[in-house]
Amino acid sequence: MTKEERLKKRHRAEKRFRFYGLTSIFVALLFVIILVQNIFSKGSSAFKKTVISTEVFFDQELLEIQNGASQEEIMEADFYDIMIENLIKAYPAKDRDEEDELLKLFSGDAEIEIKKAFLNDNNLIGQTITLDLTASDDIDQLHKGNYPRDLPEERRRISDFQLVIYDYFVENKKISKNFNNYFFNNGDSRDPELAGIGGALVGSFYSILICLLLAFPVAVLASIYLEEFAPKNKITDFIEININNLAAVPSIVYGLLALQILLATIQLPRSTPLVAGITLALMTLPRIIIPCRASLKAVPPSIREGALAVGASKFQSVFHHVVPLALPGTLSGTIIGLAQALGETAPLILIGMVAFVVDIPSSPVDPSSSLPVQVYLWSESAERGFVEKTSATIMMLLSFLIVMNFIAVYLRQKFEKRWN
């Protein structure tokens, strides 16, 4: 082979490699785009809800309370009759059957929504106001265009008559889309239009908080001890190997461990953020120790020697110089560990967080859900409304993860000191 031929061959190899590299990046990007596009197109409509603006007349005869009633009185009062009387006037129905079909277009919370309006202003008796009442899931999906109306009636959840009412509402501009506060404030529900991630958000928050409080101090102290103080011998090596092994243990194993020890033996309450937090802390511990030790190791020995040489004790050299320098790396490692814990589903399913919880937990020992488990739960539901809610929950989860990772990168770049 001549020199020119060899040279050509080398250039060809380089070009080939560039092509392979670009292709793989392109394929990876394509997958990401497909995923994000899919989630967005399905999920973005969940942030809006369909409302039917309805005139509500507060008839004294149908209410057993007076104007100026106290909050407790209103809470106890029955608003059912008021609701029925007003809702059936929303469309000129001819008989009982038609009225029943009309009522099904409103959400199961219509009574509560009317009660809330009265709670805001307790002098409404004898007056008529216009309220935006949440529509049922079927109308919601129909109005968002997620529901094909050209199917034969027996294959539709909405009857022909209900379609007539819907068209009447549209014609009279009584139907519109509002910001979906229920999605953020409510707990889980059997009715998709009322279901929200409020409970899951609070549950995830408590779980991650407990995970942070348990895992961070233990991981940091363990790393500092192992890296700076522990004698270098076989036992230390053994511990190091096992920490690395623990980081690779499938998360479901931690769930089994928690099931046996925390729930069966110690008998902590099931389905609670407390147990979830402890389980996630166990899982996250080695995942924080590894980056933490790496950032301690990255501090050059000359800094330690410099401190020791002016008479600092070992403890002072570590805590005055090494730890502050390792802190950015430690913090970003912790945040990334927590981000992983936030998205963890399998161990939480094992400790019972997969239960159907309507109430928003008020403390870490209340039964609760969490964001990834909520995704899992809703993805199994048949109703169309839950499809968009599943995707919207994934969007929320992903945005939390992106924010956390962004903070981690920011901390590392901003506070990482350079030495030469």
Partner 1 sequence: MSNIKIKSKNLNVYYGDKQALFDVNLDLNEKEVTALIGPSGCGKSTFIRCINRMNDVIDICKVTGNIEMDGMNINDKDLDVVSLRERVGMVFQKPNPFPKSIYDNISYGPKIHGKGETKSELDQIVENSLKKSALWEEVKDRLDEPGTSLSGGQQQRLCIARAISVNPEVILMDEPCSALDPIATAKIEELIDELKKTYTIVIVTHSMAQAVRVSQKTGFFHLGKLIEVGKTEKIFKNPDNKMTQDYITGRFG
In what helix (H) or strand (E) does residue 52 lie, and over which residues does it extend? strand 48-57
Instruction: Give me the residues paired with residue 128 across strands.
Output: 57
Q: How many CA atoms lie within 13 A of 253 on its CB side?
A: 9
Q: Note the residues at the interface with partner 1 (CB under 8 A).
A: 231-232, 300, 302-313, 316, 320-321, 325, 417-420
3-state SS, one letter per residue, for 357-412: CCCCCCCCCCCCCCHHHHHHHHHCCCCHHHHHHHHHHHHHHHHHHHHHHHHHHHHH
Q: How many CA atoms lie within 13 A of 276 on its CB side?
A: 35
Closest distance of CB 297 from partner 1, Å: 15
Closest distance of CB 307 from partner 1, Å: 7
How far, CA to CA in Å, does 92 sit from each of 48, 87, 102, 108? 28, 10, 10, 21
Closest distance of CB 328 from partner 1, Å: 12
- Nearer residue to partner 1 within complex by CB, 248 or 310: 310
Closest distance of CB 332 from partner 1, Å: 18
- Nearer residue to partner 1 within complex by CB, 81 or 416: 416
- Nearer residue to partner 1 within complex by CB, 94 or 414: 414
Beta-carbon contacts of residue 294 (< 8 Å; ≥ 6 apart): 329, 333
Closest distance of CB 232 from partner 1, Å: 6
Closest distance of CB 189 from partner 1, Å: 55
Instruction: Give me the residues paired with residue 52 across strands.
Output: 133, 175
- Nearer residue to partner 1 within complex by CB, 307 or 411: 307
- Nearer residue to partner 1 within complex by CB, 11 or 320: 320
Closest distance of CB 304 from partner 1, Å: 8
Count CB atoms within 10 A of the CB of residue 235: 10
- Nearer residue to partner 1 within complex by CB, 159 or 236: 236
How far, CA to CA in Å, does 242 sit from each of 158, 246, 263, 321? 59, 6, 25, 28
Closest distance of CB 381 from partner 1, Å: 55
Q: Report the residue count for the chain.
A: 420
Query: Which string of DSSP letters, residue by residue, matches 88-116?
Result: GGGTT--SHHHHHHHHTTB-TTHHHHHHH
Angle, alpha carbons 59-84-108 (nearest 5°): 125
- Nearer residue to partner 1 within complex by CB, 57 or 415: 415
- Nearer residue to partner 1 within complex by CB, 276 or 299: 299
- Nearer residue to partner 1 within complex by CB, 78 or 305: 305
Count CB atoms within 10 A of the CB of residue 64: 12
The CA distance from 255 to 346, in Å, is 7
Cβ–Cβ < 8 Å for 274, 364: yes
Closest distance of CB 418 from partner 1, Å: 7
How far, CA to CA in Å, does 254 sit from each of 89, 265, 291? 57, 15, 21
Closest distance of CB 408 from partner 1, Å: 21
The CA distance from 64 to 118, in Å, is 13
Angle, alpha carbons 130-131-136 (nearest 5°): 135
- Nearer residue to partner 1 within complex by CB, 323 or 373: 323
